[in-house]
Amino acid sequence: MGRQRSGKYPYIDMKIAECFEILQLNRKENGSWAGSEPVGTPEIYLDSHSPVDGNLMGSLSKTSRADYDRIVEKAEAAFRIWRLTPAPKRGEFVRQLGEELRNKKQALGTLVSYEMGKSLQEGLGEVQEMIDICDFATGLSRQLYGLTMHSERPDHRMYEQWHPLGITGVISAFNFPVAVWSWNSALAWVCGNSVIWKPSEKTPLCGIAVQKIVAALLKKNDLPEGLSCLVNGDAEVGRWLAEDTRIPLISATGSTRMGRSVGATVAGRFGKSILELGGNNAIIITPSANLKQVLPAIVFGAVGTAGQRCTSTRRLIIHESVYEQVKSILAQAYRQIRIGDPLDQNNHMGPLVDAQAVLNYTHALQEIERQGGKFLVPGGILEGEAYKTGFYVKPCIVEANPQMDVVREETFAPILYLLSYRELEEAIRIQNEVPQGLSSAIMTESMREAERFLAADGSDCGIANVNIGTSGAEIGGAFGGEKETGGGRESGSDSWKAYMRRQTTTISYSNKLTLAQGIKFDF
C-alpha cells in the first residue's frame, strides 16, 4: 500500500493513527471501565493484531474478578438513579450519542475495518447502524406504551405498565464489533437500564473507542457513573456475566455453541436472555427471478464481510430450469471479485478475522471434498506479500447435496453451496430443514410464490425477504431468528419490551370489594 508510519504510533500507518487520535486510543489501554473512568490494574492480557496486515494495534488488560465486581456495583448504583429519570430525558442522552457518532463516523468506521477486517464501506455502514438505532431509540423514549383493559368488575380499571429491569449485560461478537452493542445499549438506556458490555476479545479496541465516546457524554451531562460499563477478556468474563444474579438480562451474540452455554446458565438462575446466534441462510431462485437483480444480492450476501455475517448467504436453492444459467453467471462474477486490504475501496473482500477462522475454512473445504461436493469455483488460502497475514482466502462455490453434513452446518467463511429444486414446496423444505433459522429470501416475480414463501408453512426464519438478499437488515424491524439461532429479537419494532418488566395493575374506585370470577367471600 505504500503506507506512511506515524512517529507517535509506529506500529500502524498514518491513516489509522489519525483515527486513534480522534478516538483518543492509546498504545496500551485499561480494559475495564465503570462509567466515565477506567478501573483496575495495568496488567496486559489482550493484544489486538489487525487481520489486514498483522500489525499490533494495541494492548489492554483483562478485567479481573475484583474489577468486575466493582463494575457491577457501579452499574447497580447507576440503575437506581437512572430508572427514576423520565424516559424522554434518557432519550436525550441517546440522541447526543447519535450526534457524537455522526461526528466520529469516519474514524470509528475505519477502526472497525482495520481491527475486524471488513471493507471500509461495511465499517462505515456499521457506524451508520449505530446512528440509526440512536435515532430510533430517541423517538421510542416517548412511546413506551402500555395497554388499558376493561375489567369484569364494576368501578375497576386495569392497565399494564413497563418498568426497567436493571443491568443489561451485552456479549457481542467480532463480526459486528460495535453495532450490536448499540442495538442493545440504546434500547436498554431509554428503557431505564444500565449496561455492562463485554466486547469480543478479537476486537477489543473497538469497544474501548466506543466506551471513550460514551464516557465523554456521561461527564458532559453529569450522569451517574456505571450507566455504561466495559469488561474485557475471554470466555471466563462472559461466564461471570451469565452466572451473575445481579444482572437480570443477558443479550449474547455469537455461535450456537456459545448460546447454548449462556442460555442454559441464565435460565438456570431464572434470568432473561436475548440470543442471536448462528445462521445458515438461503436464497431461493425461481424461474421468474430477475437475474440482474439476483446477482448483486447473492455476491454481497456470500462475500460481504468475507462470509462472516450471521446473515451471510450460504445456500443458493435454484430451480432446475435456470440452474445452469445461474451457475455460469455466478462463476463469471466470482472471477471479478477483488480481495485485499479492506481499507482500499477498490477491493470487495478483506481477510478472515484470525488463524482459527482460516482453520475452520480449510477444514470445511476438506469436508466438502470428503462428502462429495463439487467445486465450481475452488477455494484456498491466498499467498503473496499483499496477503502476508495468512488470513486472506478465496471465496468458493460448491455444487452440493442439501443432506451433506457440511451444508447443514454454519461455516463462518465465504463458501456458497448451490442446490437445485423442481417444485417450490421442495425448495422451502430444503431451506427449512437446517437447524438454524435466521434469514431467508426468495427471488421471484410471482405474487403466489412470494406469498407461499411468507405463509405459515413457508420460511421458518425470523427474517424472510422477497427480491432482496439475506443480508442488510434495517433497524426498524426486529432482528433475530428461530431454532438454533436462539429466538431472541434485537433492534426495532417492539424489541424494547425485552429490556423491561411488565406489570399488570388493577385499580378499584368502588365503595365495596368485588372479587374476580364472581367469587363471594362474606364473613
Distance CA 412, CA 362 (A): 11
Of the listed 126, 276, 410, 449, which one is catalytic?
276
Q: Determine how many CB atoms are found less than 10 A away from the CB of residue 38.
A: 20
Q: Is-contact 242 250, C-beta < 8 A?
A: yes
Angle at 83 (CA atoms; ends 78, 87), nearest 5 degrees: 125
What the block records as the C-alpha cell of 477 is 424491524
Q: DSSP of 202-227, one letter per residue?
A: TSHHHHHHHHHHHHHHHHHTTPPTTS
Q: What residues are paired with 163 via a beta bridge? A: 501
425 is catalytic: no
**C-alpha dist (Å) from residue 368 to 91, 224, 311, 361, 372:** 50, 54, 21, 11, 6
Q: Is 153 exposed, middle or buried (0-12, 13-18, 19+ CB in 10 A)?
A: middle
Round to whole Å and give the CA distance between 22 and 106.
10
Q: Which of 206, 229, 310, 396 is catalytic?
A: 310
Residue 310 is among the residues annotated as catalytic for this protein: yes
Alpha helix stretches (DSSP H) within 104-247? 105-116, 120-140, 179-190, 204-220, 235-243
- At a CB cut-off of 8 Å and minimum separation 6, what does 456 contact? none
Helical packing angle, 14-23 and 105-116, nearest 10°: 120
Handedness of CA 187, 193, 198, 203 (dihedral sign): positive
Give the C-alpha distances (Å, rounded to integers) separating 61 from 30, 33, 42, 67, 97.
Answer: 5, 11, 6, 11, 26
Judge whether 198 and 169 are in contact, CB under 8 Å. yes
CA–CA distance, 394 with 485 (Å, rounded to integer): 27
SS3 annotation, 237-298:
HHHHHHHCCCCCEEEEECCHHHHHHHHHHHHHCCCEEEEECCCCEEEEECCCCCHHHHHHHH
Q: Listing from the earlier edge strand, what are the strands of the sheet with 28-29?
A: 28-29, 56-60, 46-49
Full DSSP string of 450-487? HHHHHSTTS--SSEEEESS-SS---TTSEE--EETT-S
Q: How far apart are CA 412 and CA 118, in angstroms?
A: 13
CA distance 50 to 58: 10
Distance CA 313, CA 416 (A): 7
Question: Which set of grid coordinates corresponds to residue 50?
Answer: 489487525
Q: How far apart are CA 143 and CA 139, in angstroms?
A: 7
Spatial CA neighbour of 120 closest among 310, 387, 340:
340
Q: What amino acid positions are annotated as catalytic residues? A: 276, 310
